Amino acid sequence: MTETDPRICVHGLGYVGLPTAAVLANSGYEVYGFDADPAHRSDLKQGSFDIEEPDLDRFVRRALEDGLTIVSEPQDAEFHIICVPTPYDKNLDRTDLSYVEAAGEAVAEQLREDDTVILSSTVPPGTTAGRLRDVIEASGFSASEEITLGYSPETVLPGNTLTELRENDRIIGTVGGQPTDRIVALYDSFVSGDIRTADATTAEFVKLIQNAYRDTNIAFANEIAKLAHEFEIDSRGAIAMANKHPRVEILRPGPGVGGHCIPIDPLFLNHNNDIPMLIETARRVNDGMPEFVIELLSAALGDLEGVKVALLGVAYKGGVSDVRETPSFVIAEGLLERGIDELRLTDPYVDSDDIDYELSSVEECLDKVDAAVLATDHPEYGALSPKMFVNHMRGNVIVDTRAMLDEDRWETAGFDMYQV
Q: Which residues are catalytic?
A: 207, 261
Strands (E), 88-144: 88-89, 94-95, 116-119
Instruction: Identify the bridge partners of residue 197 per DSSP, sorted by sequence position.
Output: 172
CA dihedral (132, 133, 136, 139) positive or negative? negative
CA pair distance 130, 46, nearest whole angstrom? 38
Work out the burial of residue 313: count CB atoms within 10 Å of its CB; fewer than 13 is exposed, 13-18 middle, 19 or more buried: buried
8 Å CB contact between 345 and 357: yes
Q: Which helix (H) or strand (E) holds 23?
A: helix 17-26
Q: Which of 19, 10, 112 is nearest to 70 (CA)?
A: 10
CA pair distance 216, 114, nearest whole angstrom? 41
8 Å CB contact between 10 and 21: yes
Report helix, strand or coil for 309. Answer: strand
Q: What one-character DSSP code corresponds to residue 54?
A: T
Q: Using DSSP bridges, classify how beta strands 116-119 and 94-95 pair: parallel, antiparallel or unpaired.
A: unpaired
Amino acid identity for residue 404 in this structure: M
CA pair distance 289, 268, nearest whole angstrom? 22
